[in-house]
């Protein structure tokens, strides 16, 4: 083998090494973007979880006969907060994200039920604190929706990078796994609560 062929082989190996390093670094960068993007959602979810006990406490003053609904909202909030904590620990964990999606769907459904029941209580609808809490909750819901879209965009790029050849070789060798999208599970949870006070 002449020296020219040796240089060509060495050049090809060096290029392959640089390609492998670049692909690995791109996957790591995208995985970190997924985590960072979920952190933005997590902040907004926590804000929502913090608002809900105040909302329930305010509603409780007027809705003594709706104890079951209020308890369901509190239980759904606690379940969703735990699921969010698990998802925040590893947003690329598909099972944790599925649990969060399910918990958020349940929370959205129970909040919808609370808002529907609250329509029967005119004094509650006129309460200044309730109006303020509802405005904050609505704003928070809008922020969650925007952050969820940004997260899903990053997840899509991360998953596409893992699935396309030749990056899929590096993803497989180093154990990268697909991240799940943060979908809204039911139609009631897809929309921010509409309350007209």
CATH code, domain carrying 107:
1.20.1440.20
- CB-based contact 100:89 (threshold 8 Å): no
| pLDDT reported for residue 144 | 94
Residue 195 belongs to some domain of the structure:
no
Strands (E), the chain: none
- CB-based contact 180:94 (threshold 8 Å): yes
- CB-based contact 37:151 (threshold 8 Å): yes
The tally of domains found in the chain comes to: 1
Q: How far is C-alpha 174 from the geometric centre of its chain's CA atoms?
A: 25
Residue 196 belongs to some domain of the structure:
no
- Provide the whole-model pTM: 0.82
Q: Is the pLDDT of residue 65 over 90?
A: no
**pLDDT tens for residues 111-165?**
999 988 888 888 887 888 888 998 999 999 999 999 999 999 999 999 999 999 9
Residue 183 belongs to some domain of the structure:
yes
Structural domain containing residue 160: 3-190
| pLDDT reported for residue 1 | 62
Structure-token pair, residue 194: 């509409």
């Amino acid at each position: 083998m002449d020296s020219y062929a040796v240089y060509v082989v060495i050049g090809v190996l060096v290029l392959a090494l640089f390609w492998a390093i670049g692909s690995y670094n791109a996957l790591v960068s995208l995985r970190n973007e997924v985590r960072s993007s979920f952190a933005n959602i997590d902040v907004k979810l926590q804000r929502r979880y913090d608002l809900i006990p105040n909302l329930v406490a305010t509603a409780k003053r007027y809705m003594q006969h709706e104890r079951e609904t209020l308890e369901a909202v509190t239980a759904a909030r606690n379940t969703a907060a735990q699921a969010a904590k698990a998802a925040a620990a590893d947003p690329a964990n598909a099972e944790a994200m599925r649990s969060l999606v399910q918990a958020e769907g349940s929370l959205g459904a129970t909040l919808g039920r609370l808002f529907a029941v609250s329509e029967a209580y005119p004094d509650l609808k006129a309460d200044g604190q309730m109006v303020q809490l509802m405005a904050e909750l609505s704003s928070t819901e809008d922020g969650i929706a925007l952050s969820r879209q940004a997260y899903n965009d990053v997840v899509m790029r991360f998953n596409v990078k893992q699935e396309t050849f030749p990056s899929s070789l590096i993803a497989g060798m180093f154990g990268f796994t697909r991240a799940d999208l943060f979908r809204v599970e039911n139609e009631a949870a897809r929309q921010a609560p509409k309350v007209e006070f």
